[in-house]
Structure 1
Amino acid sequence: MAEDVSFTAELKDAIAPRTVLLVLGVLALQLGFVASYVGAFHHPTAHDLRVGIVGPSSITARVEQQLKDSVGDEVSVTRLQQRATAVEQIRQDRLHAALVVDSGGTTDELLVASGGGSSLVSAVQQAAEQAEAEQQRSLTTTDLVPLQSGDARGLSGFYLTIGWLVGGYLMASLLGVARGSRPANPRRAVIRLLAQLPYAAAAGLGGALVVDQWLGALTGHFWALAGTGTLLVLAAATVTTALQVLCGTLGIGLAVLVFVVLGNPSAGGAFGWPLLPWLWRTIGPWLPNGAGTEALRRTVYFAGRDAGGYLLVIALWAAVGVVVTLAVSRWRHSREAVAA
């Protein structure tokens, strides 16, 4: 007859201390997820809004002051001489909006670019309407960079970026789970990295096919979308591989921390960077999520202006992932060879 085993001994055998630590790590990620998303989105407030104003100073001075009273010091107002200048600067994404004051009447025009973010348009429009109402003036809105018909609220690029990043870190995680988080030697590390190339290319091409050819959400820039997607998938995959080489299974959790807990709410998708709290609007442009979302936005709506800088950020993440993976794999292999 089998000898009775105490409950404590059974518990220790069933749930190893390492498992407890991993569960605590999952709990920390879960709470971090809640804190990050709610912290970013629960109270959107304007920061560094760039607004132009056109018209005679006798009227614009009062409207400008009312606009600052409505939004606060976080609005930067630039006085312009001509409507055409305001139009050009909005289409080049130098201004978020511009108010053209009618000197001969009481109905002014607000120039916006919903392609730069519908949340920004809503914030500026609300502030402008309040400022105009205080001066007994009314407002009409002209959208100079309208959203494509299939891109409701301008969120397609954001969700596309998330999809590519999720695929990248899941692919790298599965490779780690299937064959060990840490490659057995530097050659295995190279093979694992090379295996990510065709997957990234297929994912980039597939994502572009879905949003452009199939759904018609983001059209007219197929190869630019495919190339950006390939780069995003590579960044997520190589960084996840590097984190696994450094930290083993824990590296998967760290990848989730970077790409999900911190990356998604700071990407400028649901709310543009000028509406996010300091932490999220600061880190957003430097994480692949934000860089990818903004690169796609500028490619589709602003003729690619400044998209190259965001693509460079993504490429640097991918390069760091490759370098760390190869360097740490070589170091671990050398140390194990010496120990043997």
Structure 2
Amino acid sequence: MNAPSSPSAGSSPTEPAPKSPGFAAEFKDAVTFRAFGLVLGGLLVQLAFVLSYVGAFHSPTPERIPVAVVAPQQASAKIVAQLNSLDGEPVKATAAPSTAVAREWVMTRRTDAAFLFNPKGTEDTLLVASAGGPSVSQTATQIAQKIEASEKRRITVTDIRSPNSGDGRGMTSFYLVLGWVIGGYLTATIMGMASGSRPANRPRTLIRLAALIPYAVVSGVAGAVIVGPVFDALGGHFWALSAIGTLTVLASATTALALQTLLGLLGTGLVILLFVVLGNPSSGGVYPAPLLPPFWSAIGQALPPGAGTTLVRNTVYFSGHATSSALWVLGAYAVGGAVLAWGASWWREGRRSATEVGSGAEASATV
């Protein structure tokens, strides 16, 4: 009879497999309050995105499109009054003293169109500049054609500044600025998520701000190369576009850095809300301000996407006219974001110091 075998030397008894905590425990561990909050936040951003874009674009309606009117003195007042009394106020007419002045107003963006009345015949002229927004030019044309048909007159439309052949429907400015804005806030976000990026103290914030400058310059130049030499969409303005791109990226990136330093993850959500959910549909890239609902029309030029789009479009097509407000807006975001980021890091340092002092005093009291 053989003796029972003994475990080999050096072996250890088999350990029992760990017990599964069970589905309920796993669910409780996975679905934390923080996770629920993040999912809810994502849902709210998604719904806000749909609401903002559909709200802005679902039914473009003209509202007070600026139009110059050139006509003899006795007819001018009547035509201006007739245009301004149209149902829904689709246009805002202003008498111009001459055709040259009216043309200048269109090219300097004081008006979007100019109506030239011919007192010696039945065919009038409408001057438009579709490079400033083809949808507005088309809408102004439709309004003029409807009025002329009711008066048994005809209208000839003359486009005095159309988009470049490589610019299609004049959307390149919008897409270019969209890329700059997204690149700016994504880079700031990546810096905040990178290994060793916390805590966001003042020296580290200054390092991040300094790093954003060469990134913004490279982004501006690269964007100008793409829309210029590569695709010839907005050619002939390389250095101006490079500078605009640098400023736009800085405006987006420093603002994102500031909000993320101040509010953490909530700051990232706020950046997306401002720049993507609200900024893009209100920018004037798809439909210019006169075709947008009041809310989107009001906020568009106060946000980097709208200011950047206007700055690029008017620099390329309208000799830089009507760009001062856009420059101030982008400059305010760039400088204000940098100052707020530094101030937020200082504030966080103060909070951390106060917490550490309080924890040390509490520990001493318990000894």
Scaled to the shorter chain, the TM-score interval is over 0.9
Q: Is 1:51 aligned to 2:67, yes or no? A: yes
1:39: how far off?
Answer: 0.4
2:257–2:337 Cα contact (<8 Å) kept: yes
1:59: how far off?
Answer: 5.6
1:235: how far off?
Answer: 1.2
Higher Rg of the two aligned structures: 2
1:57: how far off?
Answer: 5.7
2:311–2:327 Cα contact (<8 Å) kept: yes
Which residue, 247, 252, 257 being the options, matches 1:236?
Answer: 252
Q: Counterpart amino acid of 1:308? A: S
Which residue, 224, 228, 241 being the options, matches 1:212?
Answer: 228
Moved over 6 A (4+): none
How does the TM-score come out when normalised to structure 1?
A: 0.94
> For residue 287 of structure 1, what is the aligned residue in structure 2?
303
> For residue 321 of structure 1, what is the aligned residue in structure 2?
337
SS at match of 1:154: coil
1:169–1:236 Cα contact (<8 Å) kept: yes
SS at match of 2:68: strand
Q: Is 1:3 aligned to 2:14, yes or no? A: no
Q: Is 1:165 aligned to 2:181, yes or no? A: yes
Which residue, 115, 120, 124 being the options, matches 1:108?
Answer: 124
> For residue 318 of structure 2, what is the aligned residue in structure 1?
302
1:7: how far off?
Answer: 2.4
2:109–2:322 Cα contact (<8 Å) kept: no
**Cα 1:85/1:184, change in 2 over 3 Å:** closer
SS at match of 2:35: helix
2:282–2:306 Cα contact (<8 Å) kept: yes
1:1-340 to structure 2, matched below 5 A, reads 1-56=17-72, 64=80, 67-68=83-84, 70=86, 72-179=88-195, 182-340=198-356
SS at match of 2:166: coil
- Aligned-residue Cα RMSD (Å) equals 1.8
Q: Counterpart amino acid of 2:248? A: L
Distance 1:96 1:198 in 2: 38
1:288: how far off?
Answer: 0.5
Distance 1:134 1:290 in 2: 37
What percent identity do the matched residue pairs reach? Answer: 46
**Cα 1:88/1:209, change in 2 over 3 Å:** same
1:332: how far off?
Answer: 1.3
How many residues of Structure 1 are paired with residues of Structure 2 in the alignment? 340
**Cα 1:202/1:160, change in 2 over 3 Å:** same
How does the TM-score come out when normalised to structure 2?
A: 0.88
Gaps of 5+ in 1: none
Gaps of 5+ in 2: 1-16, 357-367
Distance 1:150 1:44 in 2: 26
Distance 1:2 1:283 in 2: 59
SS at match of 1:78: strand
